[in-house]
Amino acid sequence: MSYKLEILNVTKTFNSEEGEIKALEDVNLSVNCCEFLCILGPSGCGKTTLLRLIAGLDYPSSGEIILDGKEVKDPSPDRGMVFQEFSLFPWRTVIKNVTFGLEIQGIDEEEQYRVANEYIELVGLKDFKNCYPYELSGGMKQRVAIARALATEPAILLMDEPFGSVDAQTRNVLQEELLQIWKRTEKTILFVTHSVDEAVYLADRVAVMSARPGRIIECMRINIARPRKRTSVEANVIREKLLTLLSSESLRIG
Ligand SMILES: Nc1ncnc2c1ncn2[C@@H]1O[C@H](COP(=O)(O)OP(=O)(O)OP(=O)(O)O)[C@@H](O)[C@H]1O
Ligand SMILES: [Mg+2]
């Protein structure tokens, strides 16, 4: 699948009790097939809003989102989302969480289970497939959310701070696993994070957003060969640049 994603002059304004809130202003970004792109930006700058627009869960106020030459208007199985908060269905077992999207698509039950088992195995949860979410650790829950997003075989995986609420060690392991999944499945990944370290470890390119209203202020290529060493000199140089950009933006909303 050679899906190219283009975000063209996208602006998003919300109407709230406080009046109009401009969340995104004139966002332009082009993401190539099989690219791993991290979006980094201060809290409230519109990262989740942007992912929701790409997922087709909301509409831009102006501008366009084009995927594979067609304007995005609705959610579709070609875009899988891993949400910022744990979003598993607590009343469903691991395997039933993973089959959810396939059920909606009307795929027959035997095939649902075949696909779900494959992705549960991919994220290393074979022995937990009949457990309920409350029986899992935070990291395991996020693995289920990833398996669920992958099960419908989307071309693009939209990930909204998926590892934000797990401890540092688990986070490193999940990053490692995600890179392996990315290599094996050849997905395009858009990964939102607050963490400069995470972005430098994972991304082919990092798009840095300004404080609200969010714009892309810089798109930085990370030319470090994989497997990357978290503490390398070259990683530190890029980290320093990104931190400087971010700290000026964070001060702007402070
Ligand atoms: N449905 C909505 N109605 C009104 N305002 C909204 C809505 N969704 C988001 N906003 C506003 O848009 C802005 C951007 O929110 P968004 O959740 O996209 O930020 P974010 O970059 O994901 O922040 P964080 O890093 O804290 O998750 C915020 O000011 C928020 O209050
Ligand atoms: Mg968010």
Give the start-to-end residue ranges of the domains of the chain.
5-78+156-253, 87-153
Q: Residue 105: exposed, middle, or buried by beta-carbon count in 10 A (0-12, 13-18, 19+)? A: exposed
* Atom 20 (ligand 1) nearest CA: 44
Distance 192 CA to ligand 2 centre (A): 8
Q: Are strands 188-193 and 156-160 parallel, antiparallel or unpaired?
A: parallel
- Token pair belonging to 236: 């530190």
pLDDT tens-digit profile, the chain (254 residues)? 557 999 999 999 999 888 999 999 999 999 999 999 999 999 999 999 999 999 999 999 999 999 999 999 999 989 999 988 868 999 999 999 999 999 999 999 999 999 999 999 999 999 999 999 999 998 899 899 999 999 999 999 999 999 988 889 989 999 999 999 999 999 999 999 999 999 999 999 999 999 999 999 999 999 999 999 999 999 999 999 999 999 887 766 54
Q: How would CATH label the architecture of 5-78+156-253?
A: 3-Layer(aba) Sandwich (3.40)
Pocket (CB within 6 angstroms of ligand 1): 14, 16, 21, 23, 41, 43-49, 84, 212
* Atom 16 (ligand 1) nearest CA: 46
Q: Relative to the CA of 161, which ligand 1 atom is closest?
A: 27
Model confidence, pTM: 0.94
Identify the nearest ligand to the CA of 160 by its number: 2
Q: Which of 79, 122, 116 is nearest to 97 (CA)?
A: 116
What is the full DSSP assignment across the chain? ----EEEEEEEEEEEETTEEEEEEEEEEEEE-TT-EEEEE--TTSSHHHHHHHHHTSS--SEEEEEETTEE--S--TTEEEE-SS----TTS-HHHHHTHHHHHTT--HHHHHHHHHHHHHHTT-GGGTTS-GGGS-HHHHHHHHHHHHHHT--SEEEEESTTTTS-HHHHHHHHHHHHHHHHHHT-EEEEEES-HHHHHHH-SEEEEEPSSSB-EEEEEE---PSSPPTT-HHHHHHHHHHHHHHHHHHHHH-
Q: Are 156 and 3 in contact (CB under 8 A)?
A: yes
* Atom 3 (ligand 1) nearest CA: 14
**35-58: b or e for each residue (b if 16 or more CB lie within 10 Å)?**
bbbbbbbbeebbbebbbbbbbbee
Give pLDDT tens digits for 139-164.
Answer: 899 899 999 999 999 999 999 999 98
Q: Relative to the CA of 194, which ligand 1 atom is closest?
A: 25
Residue type present at position 62: S
Q: Which of 31, 8, 71, 74 is nearest to 188 (CA)?
A: 31
